[in-house]
Chain A
């Protein structure tokens, strides 16, 4: 496996379900991110983790709960979501401290909340 891997690729869940999105990066990076991409809207930064510590929460509702157990893995735990939370959720990683290290994105999880 290379790059940034996200699972599952597609997820359909009801509003009362609890599910988790998983992201794994194989690049040796030390920072990981969750972005949300809704239809017809630009990408929105949700969370930033640097060396496993959360350094940014971009006013994300508490029904989204991130977890970063180590610098290679990132989870997004979902509970009691709303239909408007349906979107493409993208994980990214980069190397903080390396000058202008670009963001490397996974291919996302397409989430549908019914």
Chain B
């Protein structure tokens, strides 16, 4: 799986948008970008994923550059409960075969939302 690079930590004011960057310059054509987050003392939680188009769901938006070498996770209105470690992961489709579940988690970005 391709490796990702994320900033170690970021701060965001409550109510503002949090934009978390991720570099994945070695991503291959059929690898997806997945985002998970882990709130203290809990297991990781799935947020969103995408291949090449921008994606949006009730939690966040994912913007993938045209060359797919980087992406940004956007939390449009951050709250204190969004304070967590955010993981950007590149991996193959989780539909089955030998790749499912084999998401390689890095160190992630510690996002701190402050009042």
Contacts and interface: CB of A to CB of B under 8 A. Distances in A.
Contacts of A50: 100
Contacts of A66: none
Given A42-B106, A107-B42, A107-B43, A100 B101 contact: no
Contacts of A31: 100-101
A31 B103 CA distance: 14
A96 B43 contact: no
Could you say which of B41, B95, B108 has the most chain A C-beta atoms within 10 Å of its C-beta? B95
Nearest to A100: B94
Contacts of B102: 45, 48, 56
A90 interface: yes
B101 A92 contact: yes
29 contacts: A4-B43, A31-B100, A42-B105, A42-B106, A43-B105, A45-B101, A45-B102, A45-B103, A45-B104, A55-B98, A90-B44, A94-B100, A94-B101, A96-B96, A96-B100, A97-B95, A97-B96, A99-B93, A99-B95, A100-B32, A100-B93, A100-B94, A102-B34, A103-B44, A103-B94, A103-B101, A103-B103, A105-B44, A105-B45
Given A4-B43, A94-B101, A103-B44, A42 B95 contact: no
A94 B93 CA distance: 12
A101 interface: yes
Contacts of B107: 42
A48 to B, nearest CB: 5
Given A55-B98, A94-B94, A102-B49, 19 more contacts: A31-B101, A42-B105, A42-B106, A42-B108, A43-B44, A48-B101, A90-B43, A90-B44, A94-B101, A97-B96, A99-B94, A100-B49, A100-B94, A101-B95, A102-B34, A103-B46, A105-B43, A106-B43, A107-B41
Contacts of B104: 42, 45
